[in-house]
Chains A and B, each alone.
Chain A
Amino acid sequence: METIRVQHVTPNDMPWKIRYDASRCTLCGSCVSACSFRAIGAKVERRRMVFSEGDLPDPQQRFSAVPVIRQVKDVRHYCRGCGICEKVCPNDAIAPQRNPDTRHPVVSRCLGGDSIKRGGRKNLEGTTRTLDKLRVGRISQMTDPSLDAQRHTFDLLAPFGRIMPPKALPFSLDNQNNLQVEDTMPPVRWVYPVIIGDMSIGALSWRMWEAVALAVAYLNEECGMPVRMCSGEGGVPVRLLKSRYLKYMILQIASGHFGWNRIAKAMPHMVEDPAGILIKIGQGAKPGDGGLLQANKVAEHIQAIRGVPKADLLSPPNHQGLYSIEESVQKMFLSFNSAFKFRVPVAIKVAASATSVSVFNNLVRDPYNIVGGFFLDGIDGGTGAAHEVSLDHTGHPIVSKLRDCYLAAVNQGRQGQIPLWAAGGLGKTGDLAADAFKMIALGANGVFTGKLILQMAGCVGNDMGRCNACNTGLCPVGITTQEPALVHRLDVDRVAQNIVNYFLAMDTEFKKLMAPIGNSSLPVGRSDALVSTDKAVADRLSIQYVC
């Protein structure tokens, strides 16, 4: 008989327990082979059967060895609740069940002596989201007509690039009294108000990254929607760098500078300018922490693109050599602007923080007119890998902070000069159009989204602790892994199609939100269109309280 001590890890210590019905199981093995975490295995159980065959009780016993599927008792191979076993089981014989009595947060730290890491989003479910307490409540009735979402035309674009104050425009009048531009101006690109957030090749599987890039190209070339995608910090395949599709890509540089050796070398061969450059200072999901790509995801092609050996790739928490905002403006913005001869807008991404307004104020007063966007990322943003304590306990919600930045610009009469882009849990309920629209009415020019894109691709993770194993390189649906067997689970065309369809649906929904308030262009800062049934939220955001 197996001896067990109470300190030994057993399934009831784990966040998920496997429910298994041996009577339905055909032992086909699908679940075991599909479980990327090796959290279940085939095992033989010794069974004892007591029976009596005669008219009178005559107990006899029979022992048998029965093959079954059992949960692995190992903290390194614990069940993440992804449900792939259930998905592949032909007989509904197996499924993970949430264990409310889990001891995992303690056990894992005790056994590992290391902090817990995971992917996903903040899992501490709180009260109703702020955005769900807002409604588009200023409806055009009588005094002005609502528009027709189907028939009218709408201008659904947002700026990416530094916008000059009107009196600084280098205009003169020609002899026919027409305005003409006399001098160069900072580059500004008008793009779709939803940018696909920065997820690196490395964090994502090559097939996932390809699917996103494919969807972006399709949206641009076939649907006429100028959607842009940010590369994330991890470089870009050289073939793409040299292709005309580069114009749809925003190249990111973060503190690890991963991939920039190749990008710099490809510059003489570029046939198109990239859509923009995004300097990542921080990320909403793990503010104050750098990127983290664990060695098991650093496959050969990742090593090649990033120019690194197979090792944990830790981006430092800050850009080495930058000691002040002024310095960042002078060094990074200037060098990236000049690298592309001032043709490509350069923006910055920071984690939302109690200090965001100060940072924004410094940038908005930038005398060089080279800060082309302020990307503000809130606490509910996703990540491929982070320390759980950072994910769950650090960060700042996006809604009020975005609003603060916008109103800070309004106070200085500088709204719109540095476009504001917001992220962090937007689309968390699956309804990105509504979230984006509300953020725009509060002052954002547009939003960016990452986690939702993964969900479009089939990510089974959720904010209730399901899966969230992006860091392990064992993504069961092939999105955040570099394991060829897992990556091939992902159907590139299908993922691209899902993304395209979601954007088409969202585009219709944007119009269904703009039409009732009578606006044919994006209502940036039109906070009078919003109402809240929560007094505290209404006061904090300076919008109308209704009840």
Chain B
Amino acid sequence: MCRIGAIKSSNYVHPSQALKLMESQQKGHDNSGFAMVMHDLGGIFESYKHLPTLSMACTDEGLKLAEDILHQAGFQRVMQWVPETDPQPGLDILAMPNYVFETFDYPRHYRNGVQKDKEELLLDIRLKLRKALEQDEQGFVYSFWPDVVTLKEIGDPRDIGTYFKLWTADDKFTAKVITAQCRQNTNYDIVRYAAHPFFLQGYTALANGENTFYLKNVEAQRKLHRGYIGFESDSQCFLYTLHYVHRELRWPLRYYKHVVTPLPFSELERRDDKEPLLALRQSLAHLEINGPNTIIGVLPDFTLFTCCDAKKLRPVVVGRTDDTVVISSEVCGINDILPDRDWESDIYPHEREIVAIDSNLEVQRWRQ
């Protein structure tokens, strides 16, 4: 079983906080990896918010391949950050030779183009890079998007933290939204891509659970969008559905809940808005999820949210102070990083709601 966590703050937060959030929950996450996606970046990335940053782990050959593709496409590198590592003997980590965080300027003819075109270009390039580097596992391209970096590694999360020197907070590598998870995909093969959080065009999702409608979801999603690929984990489906509902269909976030865990027909019948709800339930029947799940997601505007399966079979809790909101599988993690908060105001979301935190850290609870 996974444990998942997310921090959203009005101040820039260092990933050490995410490591601490997950540390006390380790009984539930088997220490097989560490993965995080950071949105709304601070530190060295703060002045490049409008430009896409590539997050990649690769071999030397893979790096060359990727840079050639980007160069050919007209991208110009404006910043490069190579995390300092501390490869002590005995660390439980299957490190790749290179970790690349490079920020690029758009190709010249895109610079004054519309945002949508840029976003499609970034996806196409990431897919191209992923495909090119897939052979012989020359590299793993996690995200290529403005104001977002991703790190995924196999091993003990404590050792991964040590390796990347993430236990010591600094103000160079920070973000206002960090989502993290400490487990490789233990159901199937260990594949770097299979670790949550998953990222696509500004959307991030991570989940604790089992999606028993995985096959239905996969078969439907494969035909919905070119970016819906991989499916190394059953939880990727949650991200793709989020992307589809919110970005492709342009429906407000609360309809995501209606798609993944639709209301029973008997309840739909009694609703004033039964007509649209029934129509979306039947048209998106194959995106419904089943099985025990808690999902945490991030939207392109950095809204952070969580919701659960329809029978509330997995835990989640939301804790907060004036400047920080933390969502996590278990309250012990929140106690570690927000020890002085008023725990009586913690929220334990129920099976029929979405809890969303907007840019003002205002917590909204939308009942389905």
Contacts and interface: CB of A to CB of B under 8 A. Distances in A.
Contacts of B292: 144-145, 518
Given A143-B187, A525-B219, A159 B282 contact: yes
Nearest to A163: B282
B213 A169 contact: no
A179 B213 contact: no
Contact of B252 (A166, A177, A190, A415): A177
Contacts of A179: 251-252, 255, 273, 276, 280
A163 B282 CA distance: 7
Contacts of A520: 290, 310-311
A527 B222 CA distance: 17
Contact of A147 (B275, B285, B311): B311
The range of chain B's interface size is: 35 or more
Contacts of A178: 252, 273, 276
Given A144-B292, A519-B213, A526-B216, A416 B285 contact: yes
Interface stretch (A71-79, A150-158, A198-206, A321-329): A150-158
Contacts of B229: none
A171 B313 CA distance: 32
A140 B212 CA distance: 9
B262 to A, nearest CB: 8
A523 B265 CA distance: 16
B286 interface: yes
A440 to B, nearest CB: 11
B47 to A, nearest CB: 34
B59 to A, nearest CB: 33
Given A188-B282, A416-B285, A528 B275 contact: no
Contacts of A164: 279, 283
Nearest to A171: B276
B210 A528 contact: no
B252 A140 contact: no
B282 A413 contact: no
Contact of B223 (A155, A169, A185, A413): A413
Contacts of B279: 164, 169, 171, 181, 185
A524 B265 contact: no
Nearest to A155: B264
B79 interface: no
A7 to B, nearest CB: 63
Interface in B317-367: none
Contact of A410 (B213, B214, B219, B252): B219
A296 B171 CA distance: 94
B288 interface: yes
B286 A415 contact: yes
Contacts of A188: 278, 282
Contacts of B222: 413
Given A518-B290, A526-B213, A180 B219 contact: no
Contact of B291 (A140, A152, A165, A410): A140
A47 interface: no
A157 B265 contact: yes
B311 A169 contact: no
B70 to A, nearest CB: 31
A404 to B, nearest CB: 15
A517 B215 CA distance: 13
Nearest to B215: A528
B209 interface: yes
B215 A166 contact: no
B249 interface: yes
Most buried by B among A140, A166, A185, A410: A166
A280 to B, nearest CB: 25
Interface string B268-312: 000001011011101111101011100000000000000000110
B224 interface: yes
B280 A144 contact: no
A521 interface: yes
Interface string A428-462: 00000000000000000000000000000000000
A518 B286 contact: no
Given A410-B219, A415-B219, A525-B215, A166 B249 contact: yes
A409 to B, nearest CB: 9
Nearest to A170: B279
A412 B224 CA distance: 10
Interface string B215-250: 110011011100000000000000000001000110
A166 B212 contact: no
Given A144-B210, A181-B275, A524-B216, A169 B286 contact: no
A265 interface: no
Interface in A188-215: 188, 190
Contact of A521 (B214, B244, B288): B288
Most buried by B among A157, A518, A519: A518
A66 interface: no
Nearest to B283: A166
B233 to A, nearest CB: 13
A169 B283 contact: yes
Contacts of A5: none
Interface in A496-547: 517-521, 523-528
Given A179-B251, A179-B273, A526-B215, A518 B291 contact: yes
A527 B223 contact: no
A184 to B, nearest CB: 11
A341 interface: no
A431 to B, nearest CB: 24
Given A164-B283, A173-B252, A180 B276 contact: yes
B299 to A, nearest CB: 14
B216 A525 contact: yes
A46 interface: no
A412 B223 CA distance: 7
Contact of B283 (A147, A152, A165): A165
Contacts of A62: none
B28 to A, nearest CB: 13
Interface string B89-125: 0000000000000000000000000000000000000
B158 to A, nearest CB: 25
B215 A527 contact: yes
B104 to A, nearest CB: 32
Contacts of A8: none
Contact of B213 (A147, A190, A523): A523
Contacts of B264: 153, 155
A531 to B, nearest CB: 13
Interface in A233-292: none
Contacts of A48: none
Given A143-B187, A413-B220, A528-B215, A181 B276 contact: yes
A413 B287 CA distance: 12
B212 A167 contact: no
Closest 7 CB pairs of A and B: A413-B223, A144-B210, A179-B276, A528-B215, A144-B291, A166-B283, A519-B290
11 contacts: A140-B210, A144-B212, A164-B283, A166-B284, A180-B273, A190-B265, A410-B223, A416-B283, A525-B219, A526-B215, A528-B214
Given A416-B282, A525-B219, 17 more contacts: A140-B210, A144-B313, A153-B264, A157-B265, A164-B283, A166-B244, A171-B279, A185-B279, A188-B278, A413-B224, A415-B286, A416-B283, A519-B213, A520-B310, A523-B216, A524-B285, A525-B215
Interface of A: 140, 143-145, 147, 152-153, 155, 157, 159, 163-167, 169, 171, 173, 177-181, 185, 188, 190, 410-413, 415-416, 517-521, 523-528
